[in-house]
Amino acid sequence: MGERLEVVKELFKRAKEGYKRGKALRDQFFINAADKAFLALVEALNDHIRERIEVIPKDHATRRNFLREIGREDLRAE
């Protein structure tokens, strides 16, 4: 997942920046863009978990637990 992980990290970075900008400007466009980037991040993490343990998390708490279980504390912390 090396290359995909870098894409995920970049999406997450952009999502955080977009959300902050949208909030500061009170602009729904930026907030929506950040939401979409965050969803892409969640989907990528779910794919990574599915590849490793053949399970797709159903919620955020389960996703965090699986990331801890597969030794990806770095991703879980984000």
Average pLDDT, the chain: 82
Residue 57 CA to residue 42 CA, distance in Å, equals: 10
Give yes or no for a contact between 62 and 53, defined as CB atoms under 8 angstroms apart. no
Ranges of each domain in the chain: 2-77
Residues 38-71: tens digit of each pLDDT: 788 888 888 888 888 999 999 999 999 999 998 8
Share of the chain above pLDDT 90, in %: 19
Query: pTM higher than 0.75, yes or no?
Result: no
Residue 4 CA to residue 44 CA, distance in Å, equals: 8
Give yes or no for a contact between 31 and 19, defined as CB atoms under 8 angstroms apart. yes
How open is the CA angle 62-16-75, to the nearest 5 degrees? 35
